[in-house]
A = this chain, B = another copy of it.
Amino acid sequence: MSSKLTGQHDPLVRKLTGLGNLTDDDIGALRSLPIRERHLRAGTLIVIEDQLISECCLLLSGYACRHKVAKDGSRQIVSFHVAGDILDIQHLFLEQADHNVQTVTDADVAFIPMNALRAVVESNPSMAVALWRDCLVDASIFREWVLNVGRRSAAERIAHMLCEFAMRCESAGLGAASELTVPMTQDYIADATGLTAVHVNRVLRHLREQGLIEGAGRAFKIADWEGMRRFADFRPGYLHLAA
């Protein structure tokens, strides 16, 4: 189960060293965390609202999202996640899940017992700071999403979401933002922006006509990064990425 010799922990180590200064000791502690690895098909639910959580889930490859469901059954995605992201670190100190976590594509995930993680946090202050900082960045992104969904037009919302997603992929080491092909369906984009899939489709056509994105159907990418950034009012300070 434990695995000091393989590279399973690498995405996590990469992520956390980007968040703070980890000592060799910290990294050793990270690498000795017990891990249960799983391959999941697209659309698999990992965390379900109201569940009691005892394991922390780390995304090793693929994409995932967190979402909540309204009274009428409609879904609101509250964040997307890429390789290296910790999907439910909030359960370090909150027992009960307040939202669902689901894979968007096929994905490899690693489960770490929350107790083991709590133990590492207690004995490694700089690890605690890195993880705490990760929580704070998460919260900052949620704030930007409230603005995005609350005060931007449909086209701006979608453009902003795409800019953020591309930049986070780039910073996770998945390649240049301008080369990324978007992995989610128009349904996912709709649920993330508070729109309907039909309207997302129309907006994407519009963005394509403006030359801001390119590529047909479900395989498109950002064609004019600077134009998109300006159109979407994307100011990435809120991602708090290392300079």
Contacts and interface: CB of A to CB of B under 8 A. Distances in A.
Contacts of A146: 68, 76, 78, 142, 145-146, 149
Interface string A114-133: 00000000100100110011
7 contacts: A75-B151, A93-B132, A132-B135, A135-B135, A146-B146, A146-B149, A151-B194
Contact of A136 (B94, B125, B149): B94
Contact of A149 (B90, B99, B128, B194): B194
Nearest to A139: B139
A139 B137 contact: no
Interface of A: 50, 66, 68, 70-71, 74-76, 78-79, 90, 92-94, 96, 98-99, 122, 125, 128-129, 132-133, 135-140, 142-147, 149-152, 156, 193-194, 233, 237-238, 240
A143 B142 contact: yes
A145 B76 CA distance: 10
A215 B200 CA distance: 41
Given A90-B139, A92-B136, A149-B194, 20 more contacts: A68-B146, A68-B147, A70-B233, A71-B233, A75-B151, A76-B146, A76-B147, A92-B132, A93-B129, A93-B133, A94-B136, A94-B140, A96-B240, A98-B240, A135-B139, A138-B139, A142-B142, A142-B143, A145-B146, A146-B146
Contacts of A92: 132, 136
